[in-house]
Amino acid sequence: MKIRISIAVVFLTVLTSAAYSQWPGYFYAFELKDSDGVIIDSNNTVYKMTALPCCDAIVTGIKICEGNKTWHFYAGGNSDLDKTNSLKIEKMQDGKAVETMIIDFPPTLSGGKEKFYRDLYLGTLQFKDGKYVVKLPKTNDQWDGMPELKEKICRLSYAVSLYYDISAFQK
């Protein structure tokens, strides 16, 4: 009897470990260009980026992905995932901010048949002074019809991220 229980426990453990689980947070990926059309990467010292969390319980961050082209904004934690978080990008001159762009990242809880926090790809954004609010699909059909990125971007050693392309909504 103990052997059957042990086999059942091992079987259930293997079966459930292969099931999809939601990482406690979501990612946005995007490229950023300056006013001259040049990609802003981690080597660019003219721009300073600061993640602005909505609240104490949320963790935010901004990092560059492999290839030094795509930025990776993260918002996560065990609560307040339904809140908007922001990224402040400052264009610096002589140690002072001369222009500031704020990007508001709304929560990515999708509509459609499956409701979960999706990782979203924005495409290329242009730096400009002022506020930019990321636009999300509005209808269930738009959420269900979002294309998945075929190429793997911003790979993480601790999680599998599948990005959905919402660049068409940013126009």
pLDDT band at 7 (very low <50, low <70, confident <90, very high): very low
What is the spatial distance between Cα 132 and Cα 66, in angstroms, rounded to a whole number?
Answer: 25
Residue 153 pLDDT exceeds 60: yes
Tokens of 137: 């699909």
Percent of the chain predicted with pLDDT > 90: 68
What is the spatial distance between Cα 53 and Cα 81, in angstroms, rounded to a whole number?
Answer: 11
Alpha-carbon Rg for the chain in angstroms: 19
Which comes out higher in pLDDT, residue 157 or 49? 49
pLDDT in the model for residue 18:
37
Residue type, 122: L
Domain boundaries, the chain: 25-170
pLDDT in the model for residue 154:
86
| CA distance from start to end of the chain | 63
To the nearest whole number, what is the mean pLDDT of the chain?
Answer: 86
By three-state DSSP, how is residue 74 classified? strand
Tell me: the pLDDT tens digits for 17-29? 333 344 578 999 9
